[in-house]
Structure 1
């Protein structure tokens, strides 16, 4: 009989759909539980009130999260799953998770946030039977706290195992960057991208880009499908992660870009770019502003080299970095 998994996440999360789909491909019975606070965040009046009055917000959020926890426990009791897999799951308290573990259900969390959310990581990692982080540095900190239930699991490429690289003969964009801008957090993105403004640069992300010197290169927001199409139509995709040097784990971009079969120019700040891909063969890493400019010019004018690297990056993600790979590893650990 197939094992049953309750997948607790939000429909908005980029991790939800591929996790659900590939769990089913691996033979699990999967039931989705939405932890989104619909009662609050789908109500415009309440959203405005919570933004204006912090005490009101806290009271409302706490009540909503307790209600979500009660509903999840009821679902668990009715469905009697073998596993609860939570993707981030901040609305679920440690008490709720411990109650579910006491019912004999293996509780798993794949937590996608960086050290900027360390408070939640520290609290939630103690509650789950198995806690997975994408960042080796975060894992080291958790192990230092004695958390032997914690493991390293990088993000994944949304690729079917039967996928085949599709070469391209036409492009719409020379250089693209997709990502948000937040003052203080992502200032390096402006610094780096400013040296590419005469190389057909296009930027998508949140509207904060309109407040920067790169406003005229801003093209709007994107959903996942549009993002994939943009990558497919681009000669070069640039990835600039949070510049937190102690961190080592990659954000989603390298997996998304290589899954699209596109050429990736990646910053050097996270060590995992060298662990999970081969620099110069599957992706290209730039070291500093001038090196970014130099490599962008070079690969724009060397199409065969660029396409060879793009195909190798696709093949690496297909061979080692799919959701199927990650979920197999996760449940192998949980089944020990």
Structure 2
């Protein structure tokens, strides 16, 4: 009889705990939706331009740019990376806009851009991986009429190469994709990190492994098996690339999401022999906050231009501080929710690709 009563108490406790967790996630989802519905719709002028857009092959950014551009210009043609010159000759656009121009573009990419410019067509590139691949981006940048980069430190670098127009333009978020979702238990966690295990990241998570092994942790991406303490966290790590739509679910289901930028001086994974520093926040900063989840991020020089630490985002400087703050916000749910919802509201109000692309067009066609 005593064993039966104990089993019933355990069952009741588990049911209550599950109900509370489900209620908490449901509350955050509902509060996030209410914030999104309260924001006024974005309205921007429609420019009489035909734009040939060449995506980079990463849908998290590409789809946001495509969706935004289609609302800002009269015609958007989405092309492929292999035949930019041929597409430009066929469509005769006012502008050829290339996202990144790295990684999967053909070797004759610079020559194709030169040929497009020879047709009298304006060209622009928006670098999204600076400064980690500046060994390659410098040779590409000089081929374009206008260079945009999300990285503050690369402005003087491209200018020194002779690029006539160089602009700082941060990345943003696609609100059609990154938004709060009500997700199942398989996507819920105390703390989540999605991204590759670059050297500085594995070093930090190695320090935190004993703590992270005791809470509900999710880590996903490649290279994490190189951790010294990998076995301690092995059951909590998915050694695979996570599609965008699944990342949104993991972000939405986490109580806390960690954002740790890659280091600019990582000689294993970067191609940055000039060691240009990294001052600017990554697109993940916007994506996490757009899902209505508390974000704990390391500090970049331009972070305070976009978020206010302690108000709509939380920062950390080392593993010990990150561990303390994770535990604090797991224990203080109301504070965690309040900061997360402020971050959501600010992201949608100020950091969408619609705003960024409108800024880009203003820079190029303001006269």
The answer for the alignment partner of 1:281 in structure 2 is: 311
TM-score in terms of structure 2 length: 0.75
* Equivalent in 281, 293, 296 of residue 265 of structure 1: 296
Q: Give a deviation string over 1:5-58, Cα, whole Å, max 9, x none.
A: 1111244443211111111122441111122xxxxxxxxxxxxxxxxxxxxxxx
Whole-angstrom distance in 2 between the partners of 1:152 and 1:247: 13
> Structure 1 stretches of 5 or more lacking a match?
36-67
SS in 2 for 1:22: helix
Shift of 1:220: 4.3
In structure 2, C-alpha distance between the alignment counterparts of 1:293 and 1:9, rounded to whole Å: 38
Structure 1 residues 164, 191: closer, same or farther in 2, change over 3 A?
A: closer
Could you say which residue in structure 1 is the equivalent of 2:88? 76
CA distance in 2, matches of 1:235, 1:187: 22
Deviation of 1:324 after TM superposition, in Å, equals: 0.3
Is 1:156–1:326's contact at 8 Å kept on the other side of the alignment?
A: yes
Q: Which stretch of the first structure deviates more once superposed, 6-15 or 171-180?
A: 6-15
Distance 1:295 1:144 in 2: 42
* Per-residue CA distance 1:126-176 (angstroms, 9 max, x = gap): 111111111101113223444341111111011159x987899x9821100
2:325 corresponds to which of 281, 285, 295: 295
**CA 1:159–1:264 in structure 2 vs 1: closer, same or farther (change >3 Å)?**
same
How many angstroms apart in 2 are the aligned matches of 1:285 and 1:119? 30
Q: Residues 60 and 174 of structure 2 are in contact (CA less than 8 Å); yes or no, is this contact kept in structure 1? A: no
In structure 2, stretches of 5+ residues that fail to align are 1-46, 266-276
Partner of 1:250: 281
Change (3 A) 1:136 1:252: same
Alignment of 1:20-169 (within 5 A): 20-35=66-81, 68=82, 71-90=83-102, 91=105, 93-159=109-175
Which segment drifts farther, 312-321 or 208-217? 208-217
CA distances 1:75-125 after superposition (whole Å, capped 9, x unpaired): 111111111110112325322212212212111111112323112221111
1:139·1:152 contact (CA, 8 Å) conserved in 2? Answer: yes
Q: Quick one: structure 1 residues 25 and 242, their matched pair in 2 at CA, closer, same or farther if it must change by over 3 Å?
A: same
**Structure number, greater radius of gyration:** 2
Instruction: Please give the alpha-carbon distance, in whole angstroms, between the structure 2 residues aligned to 1:259 and 1:220.
Output: 25
Change (3 A) 1:104 1:324: same
Alpha-carbon distance in structure 2 between the residues aligned to 1:121 and 1:141: 10
Contact 1:8 1:33 in 2 (8 A): yes
Do 2:290 and 2:344's aligned partners in 1 also have CA atoms closer than 8 Å?
A: yes
Aligned-partner Cα distance in 1 for 2:137–2:350: 26
Out of 198, 203, 223, the position equivalent to 1:188 is 203
- By relative contact order (CA 8 Å, sep 6+), the higher-ranking structure is 2
Q: Residues 185 and 121 from structure 1, CA distance in 2 versus in 1: closer, same or farther, beyond 3 angstroms?
A: farther
Paired position in structure 1 for 2:41:
none
- The within-5 A match list for 1:219-234 is 219-221=238-240, 222-234=242-254
